[in-house]
Amino acid sequence: MSCKKVRQTLLYLWQLPQHLVGLLLIRLLRGSYYQEYFSARVYVTSFPVGISLGDYIILYGHPEALEYIPHEWGHTRQSRRLGPLYLPAVGLPSVAMNIFSQLKIMDGERYYLRWPENWADQLGGVER
C-alpha cells in the first residue's frame, strides 16, 4: 500500500464518527452525488439542509444553496484537524446556533461572525 493510501485511510478513520453520521444522512435524505470539491464529496438533497460531516458535504439542491460549498469545505477542514472532537466541538455548537437563529433566540445576522462558523469561513476562503 502506498504512503498516500495509508495517509488517506488514517485520515478517514480519524474522522470516522462524522463519516458514519454523514453516510447515514445521505441515505436518509436521499442525497444525490453532485460533485467533488477539493477532496470532499458534495451531495444534494431536496431537504433544506447545509451540513459537513467529514468528507461529505450535504446541501439543499437549490442553486443558491450551492454557494455555501466553500463554507462547508471549511467545516471539512475543521473535521480533519479535530477528528473525533469535531462533532462535540464544532458540530453541536453549529447546529445549536442554527436552530437558535431560526427560532430568533439568537441574532441570525451574526451567525457567520461567531465561532465555529467564522473559522469555517476562514478555512474555506469565504469573505463576507
Q: At 45, which amino acid appears?
A: T
**Domain residue ranges in the chain:** 3-124
Query: Cα–Cα distance between 101 and 17 in angstroms, integer?
Result: 26
Which residue in 95, 98, 93 sits closest to 115, CA to CA?
93
Q: How confident is the model at residue 25 (pLDDT cuts 50, 70, 90)?
A: very high
Residue-wise pLDDT tens digits, 44-102: 999 999 999 999 999 999 888 899 999 999 999 999 999 999 999 999 999 999 999 99
CA quadruple 6, 9, 13, 16: dihedral, nearest 10: 170
What does the pLDDT read at residue 112?
95
